[in-house]
Structure 1
Amino acid sequence: MVNSGNLNFNDPLFIHPSDTPGMNLITDRLTGVENYGIWSRAMLIALRAKKKISLIDGTNKRPHAGAGTVSQWERVNALVLSWIMNSVSKEIFGGIVYATEAHVVGLKQLWDEYASLVTLPSCECDTARKYIEHDQRHRLLQFLLGLNESYIHI
């Protein structure tokens, strides 16, 4: 059985004694599209500082059932999920509380939650079309802002 005491401090599965599920990594809660860019950047910086970004970007996936690190991975995954849940509004929390892996709590899930809270106009008028186009451009911008830094050159 692997535990944090047997892991190197640089290992993403290492849990520092100060890492607790109730801690807030960032001060501002995610409330919606209006602060997603700032929230996302702050959360990425905090998770990178904690050496847990690999659980978010999917590079540190759940080990296969027989691996000795499964239990430790599950603990760290739950810790990262709790940090994310502590940093979102009550409305968004309801949409992500049932996520089982930190890397699936991503932009798509947040956009789905946003879509359930905000109703776009359904008429065929010019104003409605412009509003929908603006919303789509906004989503594209948020997607581009959230891309992994390895895509900056593109």
Structure 2
Amino acid sequence: MALSAKNKTTFVDGTLPRPIASNSLFLSWTRCNNMVMTSFSIEITQSIMFHDHASDMWTDLSKLFNQRNGPRVFQLKTHLHALQQGDHSVNNYFTKIKTLWDELKEFQPTTFCTCGALKSIHEFYNQDEVHQFMTSLNESYNSVRAQILLLDPLPPISKVCSMIVQGERQRTLGSSIPPLASVVQPHPNPNSQNN
């Protein structure tokens, strides 16, 4: 994303080859190429600093760090299975689980369909995400969780998260309001006489 924002992806994918030294663009190309090559962390750069082109560096990094799908998918699913809300807020917990879901989706095959079956697949994945999300919530959300599970069909995961956050706010608000008896103290009647 950073390279794309700076219009430098052509340096890493090799679609902008280095011009010959006599070309007027040679110095500009070299400066941009060097800028891309120095955008990596020092630890990574030390292992690939012998390259002259960002595209060669990128190819080397791809070979070095690109994991096979199987182990990474297993690792992501293990993290998902072990993830619990714990001391995290609902928003923080949702961000963590959504990050794992998004990365896992990168390994799923791209499917194109005109028959309408894709909608059913998306609904199934949504239900699965809703169940995963709510399973790992703290027990204090049991009542709102039960209400959501009664809905048919289940709302989208973003709506479910919003409902849980709303429940969290109501619970927090309820615990911060002192009981009515401690707020309203009876005023002594000025007309009453002390005995």
Structure 2 length normalisation: TM-score? 0.35
- Which protein has the bigger helix share? 2
Q: Which has the higher contact order (CA 8 A, sep 6+)?
A: 1
Structure 1 length normalisation: TM-score? 0.43
